[in-house]
Amino acid sequence: MGSPKGWIPFQGEPLIERIGSRLRGNFAEVIVAANDETYDRCGLRRVPDILPSGSPLAGIHAVLSGSRTEWCFVCGCDMPFVSVALASRLWESRGDADLVIPRSARGLEPLHALYSRNCLPALEGAAAEGAWKLQAFPARVRARVIEVREGGGVGEGGSPFANVNTPGEAGELSRMDRSPE
């Protein structure tokens, strides 16, 4: 694409700044998992990958390893409608789980989920096995799945699971209004 996805403009601001502003004030800390030093300029703490992969699992591992908290809400830097309300719902549902993950009509949504530091050994085990598929990870830990259906307004402007891969998709998404409950 020519530049990291977090810097794609969306409704007048880079995605990473939009997401950071939604999360600041609602969480003890906001961390960006990125090897790219350009993310240092977004005003959020950046942690590089520790595990040898560009996989989202390596990013989740980096965040959990670098976090000062036991639990981390993890979302993609390309998800413009990240939902603090849904993150709160996941938090309230955690019980004895190590991972609280929503399931939408598309399936499990591991990049809008709540991870405990207890996931670190399973992440390291997956890395040792070369098992980098994000969708397969929940089977490695005590996961609680929360069903999320379309249409209830939790998405704060659109589906919290929508992601942007190109500037064209950013334009399309900014004109859409779909949000799950």
The answer to the question of residue 22 being in a domain is yes
Find the domain containing 83 and state its range.
Answer: 5-174
Radius of gyration of the chain from its Cα atoms, rounded to whole angstroms: 15
Ranges of the chain with pLDDT below 50: 1, 177-181
Instruction: Give me the CATH number covering residue 148.
Output: 3.90.550.10
Cross-strand partners of 121: none
pLDDT at 4: 85
pLDDT at 14: 93
CA distances from 54 to 35, 46, 89, 119, 165 (A): 9, 15, 29, 18, 16
pLDDT at 171: 78
pTM over 0.85: yes
pLDDT at 166: 80
pLDDT at 150: 61
Count how many domains the chain has.
Answer: 1
